[in-house]
Amino acid sequence: MIRAVIVINDQGKPRLIKFYDYQPVEKQQEIIRNIYAVLCSRAENVSNFVQDSTFGPDTRLVYKTFATLYFIVIFDESENELAILDLMQVFVETLDKCFSNVCELDIVFNFNKVHTILDEIILGGQVVEMSSSEVIKAVDDISRLEKNPNSIVRVQKSISGWQ
Amino acid sequence: MSGTGGPSLIDSLFQRTLDDLIKGIRLHIPGASQSTFISKSLDEIRREIKSTDLQTKSIALQKLTYLHSLHHIDMSWAAFHAVELTSSSSFIHKKTGYLAASLSFRSSIDVLLLLTNQLRKDLGSNNQHEVSLALECLSVICTPDFARDLTPDIFTLLTSSKSFIKKKAIACLLMVFSQYPDAVRVCFKRLVENLESAGDNNAQVLAATVGVFCELATKEPRSYLPLAPEFYRILVESRNNWVLIKVLKIFAQLGKLEPRLAKKVVEPICDHMKRSEAKSLVFECVRTVVSSFYEYEFAVKLAVEKIREFLMDSDLNLRYLGLQGLLLVAPHHLWAVLENKEVVIKSLSDVDRNIKLEALRLVMSMVSDDNVVEICRVLIGYALKSDPEFCNEILRSMLSTCSRNVYEIIIDFDWYVSLLGEMARIPHCQNGEEIEFQLIDIGMRVKDVRPELVRVGRDLLIDPALLGNPFIHRILSAAAWVSGEYIQFSRNPFEIMEALLQPRTNLLPPSIRSVYIHSTFKVLSFCLHSFLLPEEGVNSSLIKVDDIEPGFTYSESEQEFTENDHATSYSSMHKGDTFTQESIVNVLTLVITSLTPLTESHDVEIQERVRNVLGLAQLAQEEICSHHDQKEKMVDKVDLKTSTIVRLINEAFSEDLGPIPFNAQERVPIPNGLVLEDNLSNLDSICADVQLPINESFSLIKPTFLPTDGDSTSNQQNEEDSEVSAAESTSLLAEHRKRHGLFYLPSDTNKKASSSFPPANDPKQGDNDVEDLVKLTEESLVLKRKPNLSRPRPVVVKLDEGDRLPITVKKTDENDDLISGAVRDVLLGNEATSHSNNPSGRRKGKSHSKDKVENSETSSSSKRRSKHRSHGKNVEEKDENSEKSKQKSGGRHKSRRRADGHIDVAVQKPVIPDFLL
């Protein structure tokens, strides 16, 4: 199963953290720090795999760099490394389509939506969708539902909204 | 702003959104100013979240969830608000609540129970996205309670007409099973039915189902053997790579259990390997073949071909995986590695660390007693060229490979010992501890190598440059110990004495310096012995040692050396001439002048040892110098006081030290009346009134490496001057004992115990009690000689057991056990124990949980049992039955699930042997 999906930038700042087995906050921080330390010491154009013992001896880590971001997936022996690389491609493609030319800022400012997208692809550590068009369909549906406040209708209350 | 109360209208109107929060955080420089901003925002959130307006509350929770997830702010206090929002009728509020729950809840939160009803309601919602929110949340925060209460709801979802929901329900099932194994009884058959999903709409349903089975089978494969026909069908029919990969993983597990199954699936796997364009699938096929179906030559050949393609690819990922593949082939088909030797060796200098590491592992897998010398030479070359980190990685794997199974692959120990010496001199070497251990270990185990060991030790000791490198201090410690312990093999003991006393030894940490000093003591007593009692030394030690260890001669004189095979090279040295009056006097002066300053050392260990050495040296100096004039009266030497003492000391030292098994401690019987399980927490109060000295001042050296004979000599020497203090300490001890008697052994057992525990490494002890403590008997000496070798492998002392730490057996999770028990019940009824042709019947030992289950249902099993026996006897009938069962499995399951479930399965079960044959 997939144990975690993490996105951090090249400064080590986390942009997306999703653990599929519960980890206390301190442990999460430690894991991310360790991963960042390993990743930033790796040269460019090397393989995308890192032997990882974060969750025990059989876990593996695959990462991919896109512009300023590291996409990281941690998983165990019931996943295939190359298939996970494909999966990351699907995830990034979907982000790309949802935010048209995704960049780090999109992920920074769309915390909720990025989670929505991820949840359509992986549930409980299991991959439930590999087609990015299906994911986008579901995400669009959800956005429509979100925008239709069937209880209270109000002006959006934000400072920026008033400006 | 309204302090602690609820938010005012103004607050609500001007509430910051999540976007505002993020912008704010970005405006502030990380550090103090950012954390001030965050804590200010947190105060706002605390106010806003109490709002009765759900919109305000929702935005507050969004912000809090963000801060929790990416800035690690605690939000356990807001759990109730999250639960509250999940019950909102507005989708966005609900979603916010669920996201917060799934990112922050853990099983200990007390509001979890409040969520059960809401989850149930949402699992039954008409809106598929609400169902999906609930499933996602459940898959992360599932507890046994949730799983138990919600199993029926998830069961309903498994038949949903929407594959969007079905796939998610299936994925969620895995978590439910692991939390509540009984859910298997309810849901398993529907899960199995989903293996038959086909068509584009259902592709993801099938993928999710196979994924769940893959997870389950990884934990405990045997229970899923009966499903092999289903998996086989998918293997042959499916064109979805994701599904195929998972099925291959399942077969990799099942194939290990059932050879007949392997025969059947190996061809389709090869077909996939040949045909598929997808590297992921090809690699999975390769991995499956080489790890589970390695007996099928043609498949392995094909797999190795594919591995070679991977190795030749320009893509580093593929090269890395290719090396991993080779590593999997290695144990059964070493030829595959040898065939690709060049690529592997070349990969040692790859830019990618991962690839280098894999290559290193592969190289190590090739090592055998024939090529170990050659490979180590190559590796040392690479180690010198590599960066420090990888260099040490190389050294580490060399050390662990060579020492595997008590140096199994080493034939020429002289070479190996000098290799260890060479490693110590590699600039980046940081494996001091392991090298130290091996140098001493080999010294104790392999007698024939001791002369070479002493030579290697000498080379390390006399090099003053090495003392400046803290990483190899441990190695020097071993060198010093070896030189002291086996000084009789030294070409020139005086040289070693000088090396041990050189001024730069003050760079050593106290623990190692005390080893140096103790070795000085041994060297000194050896020199004195050889000088004062040359003849007696030979005779007494010869006889004595022969008593203990036939075949080993403790040789000290030239005569002896000529008799000893390995010592012949040293025969050119005339020991008798070395130990002249003058040289001994020089040595004594050297010892006294260099060690006297250390009598004031702050380190207890050093101080004590120095005093021991000086005690002997001063006595000897007095007596020998006074006889300086009467050179002719050599005979008198025997009568000197020094001679008596030296004789005693030498006798103590001449006992051979042997290796100690790791479990020696465990074998010591626990004395009567000693309670080891007692809670020692009130020891703290006792320790409080005992002023513990600083730890460092006592021995830091592993007790293994401290010769026991050291104790006996120091006892001898200390007895006199410590008598006074002894009385004092006895009274103190008695007082302490009176106050804290609980933690002392009863006094009579204490005495008995201490006298009945022999030193673990004392080879003289042949008594029955000790027999199993250390068994240095003939049988345990492994003589592994190659007939065609010019030089036989020396004897390596091996202990019967306990040479290495016992490997801990991988414990199966109790839940896994329960799951598989339940699975077996569903699939096979509970016949598992009654029949012989089904492999699941073989599984024993783990069955405690299963038994429980079985007992509860034995009443209904007799019918099925009789039915089964008939299957066992008649093969043709079985064929028919399996046909029928296949038809049946289509439609009737659902209606008859509860009533006839077991009978259905019992009929289905014989499909396996049928399929396998």
**A124 to B319: CB separation less than 8 angstroms, yes or no:** no
CB A92 within 8 A of CB A111: no
Place of tokens 């005690």: B615
Q: In what order do the strands lie in the sheet with A49-51?
A: A14-19, A2-9, A69-75, A60-66, A49-51
**A81 to B167: CB separation less than 8 angstroms, yes or no:** no
pLDDT in tens, B635-688: 566 667 778 888 888 888 877 777 777 777 777 788 887 777 777 777 777 666
What is the average pLDDT across A33-51? 87
- Single-letter residue type at B253: Q
Domain extent for B396: 391-485
CB B581 within 8 A of CB B628: yes
pLDDT in tens, B132-167: 999 999 999 999 999 999 999 999 999 888 889 999
Backbone angles phi, psi at A24, to 5 degrees: -65, 155
Confidence of residue B574 (pLDDT cuts 50, 70, 90): very low
CB B175 within 8 A of CB B151: no
The alpha carbon of residue B755 and the mean position of all alpha carbons in its chain are separated, in whole angstroms, by 36
Return residues 18-77 of B near A (CB < 8 Å): 18-20, 22, 26, 53-56, 59, 62, 65-66, 68-70, 72, 74
Q: Is residue B866 pLDDT above 70, yes or no? A: no
Q: What is the dihedral of CA B786, B792, B797, B802, to 10 degrees?
A: -20
CB B588 within 8 A of CB B594: no
Nearest to B90 among A78, A127, A151 (CB): A151
What is the average pLDDT across B698-720? 41
Q: Is residue B216 pLDDT above 90, yes or no? A: yes
How many CB pairs (< 8 A) connect A and B? Answer: 187
**B168 to A123: CB separation less than 8 angstroms, yes or no:** yes
Measured between alpha carbons, how far is residue B733 from residues B683, B736, B737, B743 in Å? 16, 5, 6, 13
What is the average pLDDT across B771-799? 48
Question: Residue A33: beta bridge partners?
Answer: none
pLDDT in tens, B463-495: 988 998 888 899 999 999 999 999 989 888 999
CB B388 within 8 A of CB B428: yes
Asked if residue A157 is part of any domain, the answer here is: no
**A73, A157, A162, A163: which to substitute to probe chain B, counting the most B Cβ within 10 Å?**
A157
Structure tokens at B78: 């807001």
Return residues 99-128 of A near B (CB < 8 Å): 108-109, 111-112, 115-116, 119, 123-128
Backbone angles phi, psi at B564, to 5 degrees: -90, 130
Chain A positions touching B20 (Cβ under 8 A) are: 158-160
User: At what angle are helices B814-828 and B183-193 packed, to 10 degrees?
Assistant: 60
Nearest to B172 among A25, A43, A124 (CB): A124
Chain A positions touching B139 (Cβ under 8 A) are: 20, 123-125
What is the average pLDDT across B17-25? 92
The CA distance from B474 to B430, in Å, is 10
Chain B positions touching A22 (Cβ under 8 A) are: 106-107, 140-141
Residue A148 near chain B (CB below 8 Å): yes
- pLDDT at B880 (0 to 100): 44
Nearest to A80 among B53, B139, B284 (CB): B284
**B132 to A108: CB separation less than 8 angstroms, yes or no:** no
What's the CATH number where A59 sits? 3.30.450.60
Q: Name the more confident of B575 and B248.
A: B248
* Nearest CA-CA distance, residue B102 and chain A, Å: 9
Least confident among A84-93, A152-161, B1-10: A152-161
User: H or E segment at B41?
Assistant: helix B32-48
**B245 to A85: CB separation less than 8 angstroms, yes or no:** no
Domain extent for A78: 2-150
* Nearest CA-CA distance, residue A11 and chain B, Å: 12
pLDDT in tens, B90-130: 999 999 999 999 999 887 778 888 899 999 999 999 999 99
**A1, A30, A76, A123: which to substitute to probe chain B, counting the most B Cβ within 10 Å?**
A123
The CA distance from B142 to B181, in Å, is 13
The CA distance from B916 to B911, in Å, is 9
Q: Which residue of B has its CA nearest to A107?
A: B22
Residue ending a domain, among B485, B503, B526, is: B485
Asked if residue A101 is part of any domain, the answer here is: yes
The CA distance from B283 to B252, in Å, is 13
**B164, B201, B360: which to substitute to probe chain A, counting the most A Cβ within 10 Å?**
B164
Q: Is residue B722 pLDDT above 50, yes or no? A: no
- pLDDT at B566 (0 to 100): 40
Chain B positions touching A46 (Cβ under 8 A) are: 316, 351-355
Q: Is residue B512 pLDDT above 80, yes or no? A: yes
Return residues 17-76 of A near B (CB < 8 Å): 17-18, 20, 22, 24-26, 28-29, 42-43, 45-51
Asked if residue A88 is part of any domain, the answer here is: yes
Asked if residue A156 is part of any domain, the answer here is: no
* Nearest CA-CA distance, residue B109 and chain A, Å: 13
**A83 to B70: CB separation less than 8 angstroms, yes or no:** no
Using CA of residue B765, residue B771, residue B774, residue B776, what is the dihedral sign?
positive
Residue B178 near chain A (CB below 8 Å): no
Chain B positions touching A18 (Cβ under 8 A) are: 103
Q: Name the more confident of B271 and B786.
A: B271
Asked if residue A80 is part of any domain, the answer here is: yes
Q: Is residue B789 pLDDT above 80, yes or no? A: no
Residue B204: CB atoms within 10 Å:
27
Long-range CB contact pairs, A38-42, < 8 A, 24+: A39/A8, A39/A63, A39/A70, A39/A72, A40/A10, A40/A12, A42/B353
CB B40 within 8 A of CB B21: no
Asked if residue B548 is part of any domain, the answer here is: no
What is the average pLDDT across B533-550? 46
Residue A163 near chain B (CB below 8 Å): no
* Nearest CA-CA distance, residue A128 and chain B, Å: 6
Asked if residue A163 is part of any domain, the answer here is: no
Q: Is residue B818 pLDDT above 50, yes or no? A: yes
What is the average pLDDT across A5-28? 92
Q: Which residues contact B253 (CB under 8 A, 6 or more apart)?
A: B217, B218, B221, B224, B292
The CA distance from B719 to B756, in Å, is 23
Question: Residue B782: beta bridge partners?
Answer: B796
- pLDDT at B719 (0 to 100): 45
Asked if residue B905 is part of any domain, the answer here is: yes
**A1 to B174: CB separation less than 8 angstroms, yes or no:** yes
User: H or E segment at B862?
Assistant: helix B861-873
Place of tokens 């609930």: B134
Quick check: helix, strand or coil at residue B113? Answer: helix
CB B146 within 8 A of CB B134: no
Asked if residue B434 is part of any domain, the answer here is: yes
Nearest to B167 among A77, A128, A145 (CB): A128
**A2, A11, A73, A78: which to substitute to probe chain B, counting the most B Cβ within 10 Å?**
A78
Structure tokens at B263: 């025969």
The CA distance from B902 to B854, in Å, is 13
Q: Is residue B917 pLDDT above 50, yes or no? A: no
Q: Is residue B318 pLDDT above 50, yes or no? A: yes
Question: Residue A64: beta bridge partners?
Answer: A71
CB B849 within 8 A of CB B819: no
Chain B positions touching A65 (Cβ under 8 A) are: none
Quick check: helix, strand or coil at residue A102? Answer: coil
- pLDDT at B6 (0 to 100): 55
**A128 to B168: CB separation less than 8 angstroms, yes or no:** yes
Measured between alpha carbons, how far is residue B451 from residues B409, B456, B476, B566 in Å? 21, 9, 17, 8
Give the best-scoring range by mean pLDDT among B400-414, B549-563, B569-583, B712-726: B400-414
Q: Which residue of A has its CA nearest to B23?
A: A109
The alpha carbon of residue B394 and the mean position of all alpha carbons in its chain are separated, in whole angstroms, by 19
CB B200 within 8 A of CB B212: no
> What is the three-state SS of B813-857?
CHHHHHHHHHHHHHHHCECCCCCCCCHHHHCCCCCHHHHHHHHHH
Q: Name the residue among B400, B636, B649, B379 with its Cα closest to residue B522.
A: B649
Q: Is residue B855 pLDDT above 50, yes or no? A: no
Using CA of residue A82, residue A70, residue B101, residue B17, what is the dihedral sign?
negative
Extended beta strands in A88-154, E state: 122-123, 126-127
Asked if residue B663 is part of any domain, the answer here is: no
Confidence of residue B533 (pLDDT cuts 50, 70, 90): confident
Q: Is residue B769 pLDDT above 70, yes or no? A: no
Question: How many domains does one find in chain A?
Answer: 1
Place of tokens 């100096």: B621
Chain A positions touching B354 (Cβ under 8 A) are: 46-47, 49-51
- Mean pLDDT score of chain B: 76
User: H or E segment at A74?
Assistant: strand A69-75
Give exposure, A25-47, as e/b (b: 16+ Cβ within 10 Å): beebeebbeebbeebeebeeebb
User: At what angle are helices B510-532 and B493-501 packed, to 10 degrees?
Assistant: 150
Q: Which residues contact B237 (CB under 8 A, 6 or more apart)?
A: none
Residue B92 near chain A (CB below 8 Å): yes
CB B868 within 8 A of CB B834: yes
- pLDDT at B629 (0 to 100): 55
Asked if residue B911 is part of any domain, the answer here is: yes
Residue ending a domain, among B485, B518, B543, is: B485
The CA distance from B399 to B404, in Å, is 8
Q: What is the dihedral of CA B290, B291, B297, B298, to 10 degrees?
A: -50
Residue B276 near chain A (CB below 8 Å): no
Chain A positions touching B52 (Cβ under 8 A) are: none
What DSSP character marks residue B331? T
Percent of chain B surpassing pLDDT 70: 69
Chain A positions touching B279 (Cβ under 8 A) are: 82
Q: Which residues contact B788 (CB under 8 A, 6 or more apart)?
A: none
**B175 to A25: CB separation less than 8 angstroms, yes or no:** no
Residue ending a domain, among B462, B485, B508, is: B485
- pLDDT at B801 (0 to 100): 54
- pLDDT at A51 (0 to 100): 76
Asked if residue A122 is part of any domain, the answer here is: yes
**B72 to A20: CB separation less than 8 angstroms, yes or no:** no
- Mean pLDDT score of chain A: 86
Nearest to B215 among A18, A78, A158 (CB): A78
The alpha carbon of residue B94 and the mean position of all alpha carbons in its chain are separated, in whole angstroms, by 45
**A50 to B354: CB separation less than 8 angstroms, yes or no:** yes
Return residues 354-413 of B near A (CB < 8 Å): 354-355, 357
Quick check: helix, strand or coil at residue B509? Answer: coil
Give the best-scoring range by mean pLDDT among B579-588, B776-785, B900-909: B579-588
Measured between alpha carbons, how far is residue B524 from residues B485, B584, B618, B735 in Å? 12, 9, 12, 41
- pLDDT at B765 (0 to 100): 39
Q: Is residue B558 pLDDT above 70, yes or no? A: no
pLDDT in tens, B254-266: 988 888 888 889 9
Confidence of residue B708 (pLDDT cuts 50, 70, 90): very low
pLDDT in tens, B237-251: 999 999 999 999 999
pLDDT in tens, B592-620: 999 999 988 889 999 999 999 999 998 88
Q: Is residue B432 pLDDT above 70, yes or no? A: yes
Residue A142 near chain B (CB below 8 Å): yes
What is the average pLDDT across B731-753? 56
Chain A positions touching B107 (Cβ under 8 A) are: 22
Q: Name the more confident of B743 and A40.
A: A40
Q: Name the residue among B264, B285, B267 with its Cα closest to residue B276.
A: B285
Q: Is residue B773 pLDDT above 50, yes or no? A: no
pLDDT in tens, A97-147: 999 888 999 999 999 999 999 999 999 999 999 999 999 999 999 999 988
Nearest to B140 among A78, A124, A130 (CB): A124
Q: Name the residue among B309, B316, B304, B374 with its Cα closest to residue B345.
A: B374
- pLDDT at B130 (0 to 100): 94
Q: Which residues contact B388 (CB under 8 A, 6 or more apart)?
A: B428, B430
Residue A137: CB atoms within 10 Å:
14
How many residues make up chain B in this entry?
917
User: At what angle are helices B493-501 and B473-485 packed, to 10 degrees?
Assistant: 140
Quick check: helix, strand or coil at residue A61? Answer: strand
**A6, A32, A126: which to substitute to probe chain B, counting the most B Cβ within 10 Å?**
A126
Question: How many domains does one find in chain B?
Answer: 2
- pLDDT at B727 (0 to 100): 61
